[in-house]
């Protein structure tokens, strides 16, 4: 059966920090804190719509620092999900939190309530970048939390940002290298978007911070996507969720509603260029997996046009033999 995320956005409540990029309401698209009844409603709707017969549901608490919200409130949300965990309507609960809001005691609690995956908001593994962006934790905190999560038997996920204040392409790649060493199952990669009212917005307006544009972010994230994929870490998100609130509240940064598609398309272009090095200029057929034909072609045929400028007249064809991000060329 296919997988469905039943997302519950838990905003800033109780978070003592003010990270440079954070205006939690805009990022999660949610203005109000969910109640236990909201959790029940999401699960009940999943059943009554018939979706639970077609999908394996996973309840996902995102948007804030789940284990740093008031403990009683956190437990009330988990408690509301228990009947659905016990009846196996949902296969598990995943949540995101800060690395310094993880300890053995909270992990025990989460396990008792059926939490199956925790995503750590690492954002960077460069202490200077973490300091400049007021994260209030260090790279070592991420390493310690990852190790505690592994020991608890709960699945580990990580989240990183690209293009923070003080960041460079090199520090993003180094962050990815260090996160891969933590052996996570999943990663989410978020290019930085500047939101009104945040510290980044202030720095940007004063000219002290230059956020990445979409093109620069695509270039870096394409590399990261390749690194994580090669290491066997599933990239479960690349780019912020498209939302009207976000589009209204952003002032700059690398936002594109189809950001992942842009990066995957770039991977296919690079792969095709590598493969074509051994080919004569002229007509070639590029074989890719069945789902990847549009990615190989690129938005508005941009990949085809680039290859044409390099002397290749390209046809793209699907092949059931091709794996993800692989390209094979045949001379026509």
Q: Which residues bind ligand SF4 (CB under 6 A)?
A: 12, 15, 17-19, 22, 24, 64-65, 98
**Cα dihedral sign for 259, 260, 264, 270?**
positive
Whichever of 175 and 289 has its CB closer to ligand SF4, that residue is 175
Give the DSSP letter string of 31-68: -SPPPHHHHHHHHHHHHHTTHHHHEEEEEEEESS-GGG
CB of 102 to ligand SF4, least distance (A): 13
Q: List, as one string, the DSSP characters of 65-113.
A: -GGGS-HHHHHHHHHHHHHHHHTTSEEEEEEEE-GGG--HHHHHHHHHT
Minimum Å distance from CB 13 to ligand SF4?
9
Q: Which is nearer to ligand SF4, 119 or 223 (CB)?
A: 119
| CB atoms closer than 10 angstroms to residue 88 | 11
How far is CA 166 from each of CA 36, 175, 194, 200, 254, rounded to the nearest angstrom? 40, 13, 14, 11, 16
Asked if 146 and 120 count as a contact pair (C-beta separation under 8 A), the reply is yes
| Least distance CB 99 / ligand SF4 (angstroms) | 10
Smaller CB separation from ligand SF4, 136 or 213: 136
Which of 24, 116 has the CB closer to ligand SF4?
A: 24
Residue closer to ligand SF4 (CB basis): 18 or 88:
18
Q: How far is the CB of 223 from ligand SF4 (least distance, A)?
A: 25
CB of 117 to ligand SF4, least distance (A): 18
Q: How far is CA 153 from CA 82, 99, 193, 325, in A?
A: 19, 17, 34, 31
Which CB, 22 or 269, lies closer to ligand SF4? 22
Smallest CA-to-CA distance from 22 within 150, 145, 179, 136 is with 136
Minimum distance of ligand SF4 from residue 217's CB (angstroms): 19
């Amino acid at each position: 059966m296919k997988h469905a995320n039943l997302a519950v956005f838990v905003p800033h409540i109780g978070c003592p920090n003010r990270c440079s990029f954070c205006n939690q309401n805009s990022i999660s698209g949610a203005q109000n804190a969910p109640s236990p009844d909201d959790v029940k409603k999401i699960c009940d709707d999943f059943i009554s719509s018939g979706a639970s017969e077609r999908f394996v549901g996973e309840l996902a608490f995102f948007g804030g620092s789940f284990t740093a919200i008031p403990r009683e409130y956190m437990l009330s949300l988990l408690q509301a999900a228990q009947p659905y965990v016990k009846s196996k309507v949902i296969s598990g609960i995943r949540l995101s939190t800060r690395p310094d809001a993880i300890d053995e005691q909270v992990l025990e609690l989460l396990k008792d309530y059926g939490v199956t995956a925790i995503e750590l908001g690492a954002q960077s593994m460069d202490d200077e970048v973490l300091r400049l962006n007021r994260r209030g934790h260090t790279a070592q905190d991420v390493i310690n939390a990852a190790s505690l999560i592994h020991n608890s038997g709960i699945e580990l996920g990580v989240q990183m940002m690209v293009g923070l204040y003080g960041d460079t392409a090199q520090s993003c790649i180094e962050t990815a290298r260090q996160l891969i060493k933590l052996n996570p199952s999943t990663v989410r990669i978020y290019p930085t978007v500047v939101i009104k009212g945040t510290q980044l917005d202030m720095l940007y307006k004063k000219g002290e911070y230059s956020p990445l544009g979409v093109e620069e972010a695509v270039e870096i994230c394409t590399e990261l996507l390749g690194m994580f994929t090669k290491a066997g870490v599933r990239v479960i998100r690349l780019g912020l969720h498209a939302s009207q609130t976000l589009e209204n509240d952003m002032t700059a940064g690398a936002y594109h509603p189809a950001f992942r598609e842009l990066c995957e398309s770039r991977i296919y272009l690079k792969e095709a260029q590598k493969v074509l090095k051994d080919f004569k200029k002229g007509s070639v057929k590029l074989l890719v997996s069945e789902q990847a034909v549009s990615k190989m072609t690129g938005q508005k045929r941009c990949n085809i046009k680039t290859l044409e400028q390099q002397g290749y007249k390209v046809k793209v064809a699907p092949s059931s033999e091709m794996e993800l991000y692989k390209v094979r060329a045949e001379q026509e």
